[in-house]
């Protein structure tokens, strides 16, 4: 059976991906550190204790999927911890890079043998990772990690082309999630409540971009509305 795997699946965008994928009839495997009641209420399989900064945890995820083929891998797990230039915390920034940039690549490497020919890989990125679009500065760790994530996705798109595996980096918009709310103090002059959208709307639109994804469009960095974003 072909399955869809979603990381960071217990809340926010990841949980919404699971809800919409299950609703349309996909067989979903939800990977997360700790399952939430909302996730456990869905008709899917949960693989818990998955920390994307741990190679051993990623290997356990691959073991849990032994014998199954993956048709869609949604790499959503992420953190937002950055502070301003006046109060940079390099340990937190390293953790952010480990989760947001290296984590998705770790998971992908672990699951490569189980990705079927014609599979799709989705990196939930951010417009904050666009160098050309950066006109407001700040948010150093998050911006740098997402820029690195985009580079990883672009390389994977090239390396996996012979296996007919397509890759896309998607900006979901400014989504009203717990992660956003916890980081609002760092975003006060950049984001207002009026700028935000719900996870339901963000995932609905990203699902359209995923369904449209082909090998010929692999490697692109897209807004959820389909607009190509600058690197």
Main-chain phi, psi angles of 165, to 5 degrees: -100, 125
Q: Sheet harboring 69-75: ordered strands across? A: 45-47, 28-31, 2-7, 69-75, 115-124, 166-171, 220-223
Ranges assigned E (strand) in the chain: 2-7, 28-31, 45-47, 69-75, 115-124, 166-171, 220-223
Please choose, from the candidates 225, 169, 230, the residue with its C-alpha nearest in 3D space to the C-alpha of residue 202: 225
Backbone dihedral region for residue 225 (phi beyond 0: left; psi -120 to 50: alpha; all else: beta) = alpha
Is 142 an active-site residue?
yes
Say how far apart CA 175 and CA 223 lie, in whole Å: 13
CB 102 within 8 A of CB 75: no
Catalytic residue chosen out of the listed positions 17, 97, 142, 221: 142
Please choose, from the candidates 47, 48, 46, 42, the residue with its C-alpha nearest in 3D space to the C-alpha of residue 22: 42
Tokens of 43: 């008709």
Main-chain phi, psi angles of 209, to 5 degrees: -65, -35
Active site residue ranges: 142
């Amino acid at each position: 059976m072909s399955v869809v795997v979603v990381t960071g699946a217990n809340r926010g965008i990841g949980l919404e991906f699971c809800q919409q994928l299950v609703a349309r009839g996909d067989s979903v495997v939800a990977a997360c550190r700790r399952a939430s009641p909302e996730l456990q209420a869905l008709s899917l399989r949960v693989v818990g204790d998955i920390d994307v900064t741990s190679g051993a945890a990623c290997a356990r995820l691959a073991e849990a999927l032994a014998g199954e083929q993956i048709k869609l891998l949604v790499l959503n797990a992420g953190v937002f911890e950055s502070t301003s230039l006046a109060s940079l915390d390099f340990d937190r920034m390293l953790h952010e890079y480990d989760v947001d940039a290296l984590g998705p690549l770790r998971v992908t490497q672990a699951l490569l043998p189980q990705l079927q020919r014609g599979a799709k890989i989705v990196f939930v990125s951010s417009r904050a990772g666009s160098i050309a679009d950066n006109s407001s500065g700040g948010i150093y760790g998050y911006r740098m990690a997402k820029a690195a994530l985009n580079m990883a996705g672009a390389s994977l798109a090239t390396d996996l082309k012979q296996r007919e595996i397509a890759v896309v980096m998607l900006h979901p918009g400014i989504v009203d999630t717990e992660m956003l709310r916890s980081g609002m103090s760092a975003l006060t002059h950049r984001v207002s409540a009026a700028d935000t959208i719900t996870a339901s709307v963000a995932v609905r639109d990203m699902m359209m971009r995923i369904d449209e994804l082909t090998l010929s469009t692999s490697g692109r960095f897209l807004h959820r509305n389909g607009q190509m974003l600058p690197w």
